[in-house]
Structure 1
Amino acid sequence: MTESSAQRVPGDLEEAHGRTAGDLISVPGALDAEGFKTLFRGHPGGVAVITAEGPGGPVALTATSVASVSADPPMLIFSVSSQSSATPSILAADTIVVHLLDAADLDLAKLASTSGVDRFADTSRWTRLPTGEPVFPGVRAWTRCAIVSRLEAGGSTVIAAHALQGQTNREPGSDTPLVYHNRTWHALGEHTRI
């Protein structure tokens, strides 16, 4: 190797941190629960509401863990915390409804994330599908799903679901996406484009 080929050209990493790619860095100790939460507070998530029919009636919870994993067949995943009162009914269900929200649906996101309230008290906002699942039909989009697998992961359960039917009420681009970031709700728009 010649001397000129061994020279390094300063890059973004070196300029920002005083080191170059390939340099070893020190790594802090084990990550505790609070450190893990802090990591993910800076990672925004789309907002969804999951509903199911439970033995005592319909249940709902707000989730930021919904992700598509396959288009053919249409599959998605999400996780539910063991601390949510809706979790036992969702885990016992064969089918659920995943509601994908935008900023116009913020009130539903807040309602489904509030403990100790009747999320279905306003009967003008929801109905049942012919198959029995509770649905909030006015949201940006929803899909009825069959649960195909459950995986316990710490204090949560990761659920994989096959999307069977669905409806889009507001096309992407005509809406204002709703995300949850650093413990608060945010609406994405032209002002957030980079």
Structure 2
Amino acid sequence: MSHGEIAHHHVWSPSARCPVAGAAEEEPLTEDAFRGVFRTHPAGVAIITAMGERQPVGFTATSLASVSSAPALLSFGVGRNASSWATVCAAEYVAVHLLAHDQQELASTFARSGANRFAPPTRWSAGPHGVPLLDGVPAAMVCRKVYDLPAGDHTVVIAQPIRAYQGRQARPLVYLDGHYGSVSR
């Protein structure tokens, strides 16, 4: 294995879990209470894409996070009820696109159930390993998936970026309290 590569079996194991001190038998937050707390937390907006056997799939994500810089790893969640879930979980490679403040309609298209997400006006092309790359985004990464972790009604995907693309400079698109917005730099 070369420097910077990750072996699938070294990414996560039950023995790698952090110990939980004094884990009491307490009731977890309700779904409404949990969502209420996170409505006050701004999240960056990304679109995750993958190529299926017959067509590309994609979805809007606000769960994108940097996990490690050495080696570079990121994570995102995909709902198990999402139309793209099976394809994303089966894919070896995915693309992660960071959106600009003026790409709210693109984010909404990829968040809308039943939408033809890759039809015009969406512009895209096949990138490395066939992953769909969206045109006009500030940044995108092609990533090799290294681990899928079932977590509640979602699957958490850990992926290693293998190629990065820098596009235009723009303020980022964020999601807060059920609405898209932006932040100043």
Shorter-chain TM range is 0.7 to 0.9
Give aligned-pair identity as a percent: 39
Per the alignment, residue 167 of structure 1 pairs with 165
Pairing 1:1-194 to 2, within 5 Å after superposition = 30-122=28-120, 125-171=123-169, 175-189=170-184
Show CA shifts across 1:24-53 (max 9, x none).
xxxx96411111111111111000000001
- Report if the CA contact (8 A) 1:49-1:109 is conserved: yes
Q: Distance in 1 between matches of 2:140 and 2:128?
A: 15
Alignment CA distance shift 1:126-1:145 (3 Å): same
Aligned length: 160
Instruction: Please provide the CA RMSD for this pair.
Output: 1.7
The 2-side partners of 1:125 and 1:45 are apart by 24
In structure 2, list runs of 5 or more residues that go unmatched. Answer: 1-25
SS at match of 1:36: helix
Q: Output the TM-score relative to the length of structure 2.
A: 0.81
* Gap change, CA 1:131 and 1:70, over 3 Å in 2: same
d(CA) in 2 for partners of 1:177 and 1:189? 8
Query: Contact 1:105–1:140 at 8 Å: present in 2 too?
Result: no
Report the secondary structure of 1:139's partner residue. Answer: coil
Name which one, 1 or 2, has greater alpha-carbon Rg.
1
Give the secondary structure class of the aligned counterpart of 1:157.
Answer: strand
Displacement of 1:189 after TM fit? 2.2
Moved over 3 A (4+): none
- Per-residue deviation, 1:139: 0.5
Higher RCO by CA contacts (8 Å cutoff, separation 6 or greater): 2
Question: Partner residue of 1:20?
Answer: none
* Deviation string, structure 1 residues 98-121 (Cα, Å, up to 9, x no partner): 001111322211110011111111
Superposed displacement of residue 137, structure 1: 2.8
Contact 1:62 1:112 in 2 (8 A): yes
SS at match of 1:121: coil
